[in-house]
Structure 1
Amino acid sequence: MRVVVYGAGQLAQMMYLAGSPLGIEVQAVDVNNDSVVHPVSKTPLDTTLAQALESADALTVEFEHVPERLLDEAAKTGKLMPDIASILVGADRVREKKLLDSMQVPNCEHRIVTHPDQLADCVDALGDKLILKASRDGYDGYGQWRLTDKADLPKLTQAMSQLNLAEVPLVVEKMMAFDRELSLIGVRNKQGDIRTYPLAENLHHQGQLHVSVAPATQVDDELQRKAHDIFVKLAEGMDYVGVLAVELFQCGDTLLVNELAPRVHNSGHWTQSGAVTSQFENHLRAVCGLPLGDTSAIGPSAMVNIIGCSSFSRELLSIDGSHLHWYGKSVREKRKMGHINVTAKSYVELGEKLEQLGQFLPLSFFPKLVDEAQRLKA
């Protein structure tokens, strides 16, 4: 079997590594020049994109912002999974909000803004604590602004007047006083079978995910069921095939959908070491029409992102249950360079291992690590 992935980053690389034991060959498309490359070495392959599409059993994506002309070509083959409509939902927050509202899936109260003058109406409707998100091309904290005091509205309105909101509208949300951020990774195959992983708790810094812990602590069967039901409603309503990540805010016993990612996701990297079947293998199983793998956790685990640095000690591998995944990128501020998965037999042991991990890392780049280690040990 052969799967062609649009995008040639770390997610395509990890799909390649997951596919090899299954006899699934994964090729990647560099969407900057339409070339077909090896997902690990990035070496151009001796095939054209048209030839790769013809010989593939399935086409998929590693990120939402694939040029639409390429998605249109892929969709015409009938092999693209998830389908183009699902991918575009992940690339456009307005589409995303309309989908959630149409399916009556709880999400943050919001307004769509196409002109700066509408911001005053947003304050009247939602209050003076707002988060403004560009509807397209915003991720990892980029393309976002905050209003925390009504007195700052004129300055914010002036700043937004510099943007073309008619072309790229804003989604303006009421700033929620949520308890924590969770995510659910789930998968649906071509036959309609669905499996979901345990909820993960996510810790962010400056808009980027730094640490995920799974299964999340203090999750009862009812909360997990609510998250599963949200996934089922979305996946079946979209006729979705593949892995879908659902980012959630927990407010007491209520779960609100924050964002959707129609692909394998950073908050699911823990599944490589902490689950019976990783999200990458299950995504390939799904798009190839194979039976889905067991999504059970094998114990508490954590994923720690390595962001914007490469100066750490590989001696961290001396910690039992630690696994390093290095992406081979050049260093850049806020760039995800790799991640570390850590598994343990208990949350206390996991906290102890994260504390040990800090001895091998420049902690200024890992601001959430120590506090999370102490929380888990408590």
Structure 2
Amino acid sequence: MKVLVLGAGQLAKMLYLAAAPLGVEVFAVDVTDNSVLNPVSRQVHEFDLAFAIEEAKAITVEFEHIPEPLLELVEASGKLMPNMLSIMAGADRVREKYLLAQNGIANCQHLIIDNVDQLEGITDILGDKIIFKSSRDGYDGYGQWRMRSASDLGSLHDTFDKLDLRKVPLIAEKMSLFDREISVVGARDAKGNICCFQIAENLHYEGQLHVSIAPATKLTKTIIFQANDIFKRIANALEYVGVLAIELFQVGDELLVNEIAPRVHNSGHWTQDGVGTCQFEQHIRAVLGFGLGSTKTPYVNAMVNVIGCTSFSRDLIALDGCHLHWYGKTLREKRKMGHINVVADNYAQLGDKLIALLEHLPEESFPLLAGEAKRLQAFSQT
């Protein structure tokens, strides 16, 4: 049984590794030239894309920014999961906002900007603290501009005047004074069965995810219900098949959707070592019609991204409950090189383990880790 993944990065690699024990073979497509390759060895196969599409039982994606002609080709095979509608909703913030509006799902107050003249009077609507986001191809903080006061509007007007906003509009969002960022990652199969993992608490630095804690601390029944209800409503509206991630802002007892990601997600990497069925295996199960696996979580977990850094001691893998997942990429600033999962019996113990982990890491490359470790050390479950 074969699964074809559009995209050939680390997520395709992790899908391959999770699928192998199930007797499932994963091929990946380099979307820059449509070559088909092994996502682990990087060896290019002799057969072409048309043959790979024919041979695959299911076709899926590892990221949402897939060229539309390729998506249309694969959609025509009837094997694409999630469907093209779902992938495009994740790739285009305008489509995403329409999806949320159509389903009555709360998100940040915003305007869609396709002409710079719309900037006039924008502070009367959204206030003087606004984040502008490119509707396409923006991720990890790229394609975003922050207006911290009305005095920034002039320079932003000049910047946006050089862009083709008709082709790629901007989303102007009122900066939300949220309490924290959380995410819910789960799966839906073709029969409509849904199974969500524990909610993760996410810490970002300069637009990139640095640390996730799962289950998130201080979760109330209200927040848990809202997060899972939002997941179900979006997944069902899209007739979604596979793993879906939804990033949320928590504002008091209310959740606002920040983004949706129609794929396995960075904030779900902790499941590789913290759950019997990780998000990657769950995705394979969903797209192939296997039964969804258990998401029971016996530990508290931390996922620490390794970003733009290779200078750390591999001795960290000797630490109890510590697991390194390395991507094998060429070093580049702000590039995700790998991640480290840490499991513990409780939050205080997890904090202790993160402090021990820091002894093997350059602290300047992990600016949030010490503070989060100390917070967890002081945390007591009530």
* TM-score normalised over the length of structure 2: 0.98
Q: Secondary structure at the match of 2:121?
A: helix
- Matched with 1:72 is 72
Equivalent residues in 2 for 1:162-201, closer than 5 Å: 162-201=162-201
Equivalent residue number for residue 5 of structure 1: 5
Q: Deviations over 1:190-216 (max 9, x none)?
A: 111001111100000000000000000
Equivalent position of 1:277 in the other structure? 277
Q: Which letter maps to 1:175?
A: M
- Take 2:269 and 2:277, find their aligned partners in 1: how far apart are those partners? 11
Q: How far apart are the structure 1 equivalents of 2:161 and 2:48?
A: 44
Matched, 1:28 2:28: yes
- Compute the displacement of 1:240 (Å): 0.3
Report the equivalent of 2:359.
359
Distance 1:312 1:299 in 2: 26
Partner of 2:46: 46
Distance 1:281 1:300 in 2: 20
What's the CA shift for 1:163?
1.2
Partner of residue 93, structure 2: 93
Tell me the CA shift for residue 275 of structure 1: 1.4
Give the corresponding residue for 2:211: 211
Tell me how far 1:12 sits from its aligned partner.
Answer: 0.3
Identity of aligned residues (%): 57
Q: CA RMSD in A?
A: 0.7
Rounded Cα–Cα distance in structure 2 between residues aligned with 1:242 and 1:97: 21
5 Å-filtered alignment, 1:204-283, equals 204-283=204-283
Unaligned runs of 5+ in 2: none
Task: Give the conservation status (yes or no) of the 8 Å contact 1:272–1:278.
Answer: yes
In 2, distance between residues paired with 1:182 and 1:297? 17
Cα offset, 1:144, TM superposition: 0.4
The runs of 4+ residues in structure 1 deviating greater than 4 Å are none
**Structure 1: runs of 5+ lacking an equivalent:** none
Is contact 1:308-1:331 (8 Å) kept? yes
Distance 1:234 1:122 in 2: 29
Match of 1:297 in 2: 297
Using the TM superposition, give the Cα deviation of residue 148 of structure 1 relative to its aligned residue in structure 2, in angstroms: 1.3
Query: Quick check: 25-34 or 151-160, which moved more?
Result: 151-160
1:120, CA displacement in angstroms?
2.3
Amino acid at match of 1:324: L
Task: Measure, in 2, the Cα distance between the counterparts of 1:43 and 1:221.
Answer: 48
Shift of 1:183: 0.4
Instruction: Write the distance in 2 (CA, Å) between the matches of 1:222 and 1:23.
Output: 40
Amino acid at match of 2:31: V
> What residue identity is the alignment partner of 2:139?
Y
Please give the per-residue CA displacement for 1:287-311, whole angstroms capped at 9, x wherever unaligned: 0001001112121000000000111
Give, as a single letter, the amino acid of the residue that structure 1 aligns with 2:233. Answer: K
> Is 1:276–1:298's contact at 8 Å kept on the other side of the alignment?
no
Distance 1:343 1:46 in 2: 41
Partner SS, residue 171 of structure 2: strand
Paired letter, 2:167: E
Q: Which residue of 1 aligns with 2:370?
A: 370
Q: Helix, strand or coil: the match of 2:281?
A: helix
Shift of 1:229: 0.4
Give the letter aligned to residue 248 of structure 1. Answer: L
- CA shift for structure 1 position 122: 2.2
- Aligned counterparts of 1:68 and 1:48: Cα–Cα separation in 2: 19
Q: CA deviation at 1:237?
A: 0.7
The amino acid across from 1:323 in the alignment is H
In 2: Cα distance, 1:62 partner to 1:86 partner: 13
TM-score normalised by structure 1 residue count: 0.99
SS where residue 272 of structure 2 aligns? Answer: helix
How far apart are 1:118 and its partner, in Å?
Answer: 0.7
Partner-residue secondary structure (3-state), 1:360: coil
Q: Are 1:185 and 1:244, in contact at CA under 8 Å, matched by a contact in 2?
A: yes
Give, in whole Å, the separation in 1 of the partners of 2:160 and 2:32. 29
Q: 1:83-127, CA deviations, whole angstroms, 9 ceiling, x for partnerless residues?
A: 001001111000000100111011001000011121123211111
Please list the CA deviations of residues 124-170 of structure 1 after superposition, one character each: whole Å capped at 9, or x if unmatched: 11111100000011100001011111122112211211111111100
Q: What residue is the counterpart of 1:114 in the other structure?
A: 114
Distance across 2 between alignment mates of 1:152 and 1:306: 33
The offset of 1:328, in angstroms, is 0.5
Amino acid at match of 1:350: L
Q: Which letter maps to 1:295?
A: T
Query: What is the number of residues matched between the two proteins?
Result: 378
2:333 maps to which residue?
333
Instruction: Give the aligned residue type for 2:190.
Output: K
